[in-house]
């Protein structure tokens, strides 16, 4: 959520940003919220004037009583003011709700470096790490290979839980755990505090960390309760700073969180297919930074490098795609995707996403930095360290041998009792 002052003082900037995001249908909202804000400020001015008048009358009443003068007329005037104030306050609260609802729909101001484009077709490749492999022998589909190795049971999970779920077994389950353990240890060595967060959050947190479009497409809801299963540990990790003032000397705050994640994947292509690519439940290691506004883009670059180093250690070729303006969710100021190479499909696919929210989440959740006599909103960033289903696909395809076994990346072997290869069970 942007500052209402920006709408008041520079509506052209806000409208230009909407145009860059190809959200022209929201342009009337800027003028509407300015009008409502002007009305709210007039009400506030009137209310402040009435309170001042009430204080003056109270003084006059006291003076009249001291001088033993008739104060009935003054008392009558004083009694009328609270009624007027109550009406003004009720109207003001309604305006505040309406203003907030509109402000939540107006997207964050994108960073000047963001490429302008309507959708993902305009995303820009900015870096590649590792050389894509194109084996001369046949590469098995990851789901087929997982079943051949006795490492997954999709059919039983589908009968039990529905589409988009799976049982992970044996060495593949151990490999999945090794991926998390390796990435967790890597982030801890980089000075991040390890946290296991709650797996459910309240609506206030959901609305604080996500745009409306993301909530609708991603989040499950617990019937009859104000609880949502998390789509990523980023959400509770940011939420735990809600309504807090952080001391300047305690920044930056660096957290790496592990959790299961739950997503509806509304409209997702491939949810009908057997495999790990689009699923409703998965495990993920996340990194989150809360920092000074002046430091956030330095952390953006560092966090990107951490993720790239992890994939390099796992011998998985990846590339970085800078997200175009029209492909950015409304809260994001700048974002990029990390994509892994698929030898089977001979193309890259998304395995993680890095985002600088700037002060958007902090403003919604009231996360401030206390610096001397003043306080101001923090900047928040998040990045996928690794998500196990898609990382498993990348390891299975890029380390698949001719006979269908899987070489375990050296970085993971110590987490699997020094096992070097996964064969049919």
> How would residue 269 be classed by pLDDT, with cut points 50, 70 and 90?
low
**Are both 305 and 178 inside the same structural domain?**
yes
pLDDT at residue 272 in the model: 63
> How would residue 271 be classed by pLDDT, with cut points 50, 70 and 90?
low
And the tokens for 345? 């499909």
**Are both 56 and 168 inside the same structural domain?**
no
Residue 360 CA, distance from chain mean position: 10
Instruction: Select from 103, 131, 146 the last residue of a domain.
Output: 103
pLDDT at residue 218 in the model: 87
pLDDT at residue 352 in the model: 95
> How would residue 266 be classed by pLDDT, with cut points 50, 70 and 90?
low
Q: How far apart are CA 98 and CA 79, in angstroms?
A: 30
Query: Three-state SS string across 32-43, please?
Result: HHHHHHHHHHHH
Does position 268 have pLDDT exceeding 60, yes or no?
no
Averaged pLDDT for residues 260-279: 79
Q: What percent of the chain has pLDDT over 70?
A: 98
Q: How far apart are CA 260 and CA 199, in angstroms?
A: 7
Instruction: Select from 77, 103, 129 the last residue of a domain.
Output: 103
pLDDT at residue 77 in the model: 80
Helices 27-66 and 11-20, axial angle in degrees (round to 10): 150
Averaged pLDDT for residues 416-420: 96
Residue 69 CA, distance from chain mean position: 66
**Are both 169 and 34 inside the same structural domain?**
no
Averaged pLDDT for residues 217-238: 94
- The structure tokens 């967060």 sit at 197
My answer on whether omega of the bond before 252 falls inside 30° of 0, hence cis, is: yes
**Are both 254 and 403 inside the same structural domain?**
yes
Residue 251 belongs to a domain: yes
Write the CATH number for 87.
Answer: 1.10.287.40
**Are both 219 and 360 inside the same structural domain?**
yes
Report the b/e string of 110-133 with b at 16+ CB within 10 A.
Answer: bbeebeebeeeebbeeeeebbebb
Residue 108 belongs to a domain: no
The phi, psi pair for 217, rounded to 5°, reads -80, -25
Does position 270 have pLDDT exceeding 70, yes or no?
no
Residue 326 belongs to a domain: yes
17: containing domain: 4-103
Residue 297 CA, distance from chain mean position: 16
Q: What sign has the CA pseudo-torsion 340, 343, 347, 349? A: negative
Residue 115 belongs to a domain: no
pLDDT at residue 273 in the model: 77
**Are both 194 and 94 inside the same structural domain?**
no
Averaged pLDDT for residues 206-221: 87
Cβ-based burial of 67 (10 A; exposed 0-12, middle 13-18, buried ≥19):
exposed
**Are both 386 and 240 inside the same structural domain?**
yes
pLDDT at residue 206 in the model: 94
Write the CATH number for 161.
Answer: 3.30.930.10
Residue 112 belongs to a domain: no
Q: How far apart are CA 285 and CA 389, in angstroms?
A: 12
> How would residue 421 be classed by pLDDT, with cut points 50, 70 and 90?
very high
The count of C-alpha atoms lying within 13 angstroms of the C-alpha of 26, restricted to the half-sphere facing its C-beta, is 20
Contacting residues for 247 by C-beta, under 8 A, at least 6 apart:
369, 370
* 133-164 pLDDT, tens digit each: 888 888 899 999 999 999 999 999 999 999 89
Number of structural domains, the chain?
Answer: 2
Q: What sign has the CA pseudo-torsion 196, 201, 204, 205? A: positive
Residue 303 belongs to a domain: yes
Averaged pLDDT for residues 166-170: 95
pLDDT at residue 81 in the model: 85
**Are both 78 and 213 inside the same structural domain?**
no
Instruction: Select from 49, 71, 103 the last residue of a domain.
Output: 103
Does position 16 have pLDDT exceeding 90, yes or no?
yes
Q: How far apart are CA 374 and CA 320, in angstroms?
A: 38
**Are both 177 and 296 inside the same structural domain?**
yes
**Residue 257 near residue 285, CB atoms below 8 Å:** yes
**Are both 88 and 147 inside the same structural domain?**
no
Question: What is the per-residue DSSP string for 304-325?
Answer: HHHHHHHHHHTT--EEEEEPPG
Neighbours of 58 (CB within 10 A): 14
Q: What percent of the chain has pLDDT over 90?
A: 79
Which pTM value belongs to this model?
0.89
Mean pLDDT of the chain: 93
**Are both 133 and 211 inside the same structural domain?**
yes
Averaged pLDDT for residues 27-39: 95
**Are both 168 and 301 inside the same structural domain?**
yes
* 102-130 pLDDT, tens digit each: 999 999 999 999 999 999 999 999 999 99
Residue 168 belongs to a domain: yes
Residue 389 belongs to a domain: yes
Q: What sign has the CA pseudo-torsion 113, 118, 124, 130? A: positive
* 237-251 pLDDT, tens digit each: 999 999 999 999 999
């Amino acid at each position: 959520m942007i500052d209402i002052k920006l709408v008041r003082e520079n509506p052209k900037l806000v409208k230009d940003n909407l145009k860059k995001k190809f959200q022209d249908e929201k342009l009337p909202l800027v003028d509407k919220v300015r009008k409502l804000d002007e009305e709210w400020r007039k009400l506030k001015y009137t209310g402040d004037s009435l309170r001042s008048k009430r204080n003056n009358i109270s003084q006059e009443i006291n003076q009249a009583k001291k001088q033993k003068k008739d104060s009935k007329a003054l008392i009558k005037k004083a009694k009328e003011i609270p009624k007027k104030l109550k009406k003004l306050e009720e109207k003001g609260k309604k305006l505040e709700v309406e203003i907030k609802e509109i402000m939540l729909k107006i997207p964050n101001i994108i960073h000047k470096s963001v490429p302008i484009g309507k959708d993902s077709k305009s995303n820009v490749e900015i870096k590649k790490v590792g050389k894509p492999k194109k084996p001369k022998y046949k590469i098995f589909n990851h789901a087929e290979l997982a079943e051949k190795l006795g490492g997954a049971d999709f059919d039983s999970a589908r009968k039990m839980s529905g589409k988009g779920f799976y049982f992970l077994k044996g060495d593949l389950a151990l490999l999945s755990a090794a991926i998390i353990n390796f990435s967790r240890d890597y982030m801890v060595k980089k000075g991040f505090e390890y946290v296991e967060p709650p797996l459910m959050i309240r609506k206030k947190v959901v609305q604080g960390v996500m745009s409306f479009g993301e909530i609708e497409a991603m989040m499950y809801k617990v019937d009859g309760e104000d609880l949502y299963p998390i789509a990523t540990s980023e959400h509770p990790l940011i939420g735990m700073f809600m309504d807090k003032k952080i001391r300047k000397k305690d920044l930056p705050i660096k957290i790496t969180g592990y959790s299961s994640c739950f997503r509806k994947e509304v409209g997702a292509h491939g949810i009908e297919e057997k495999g790990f690519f689009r699923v409703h439940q998965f495990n993920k290691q996340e990194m989150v930074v809360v920092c000074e506004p002046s430091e956030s883009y330095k952390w953006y670059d560092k966090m990107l490098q951490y993720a790239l180093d992890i994939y390099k250690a796992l011998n998985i070729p990846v590339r970085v795609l800078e997200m175009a303006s029209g492909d950015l969710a409304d809260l994001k100021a700048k974002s990029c995707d990390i994509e892994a190479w698929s030898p089977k499909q001979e193309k890259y696919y998304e395995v993680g996403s890095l985002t600088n929210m700037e002060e958007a989440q902090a403003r919604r959740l009231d996360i401030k930095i206390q610096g001397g006599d003043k306080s101001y909103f923090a900047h928040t960033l998040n990045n996928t360290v690794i998500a196990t289903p898609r990382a498993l696909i990348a390891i299975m395809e890029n380390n698949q041998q001719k006979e269908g076994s899987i070489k375990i990346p050296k970085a993971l072997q110590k987490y699997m009792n020094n096992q070097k290869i996964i064969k049919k069970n």
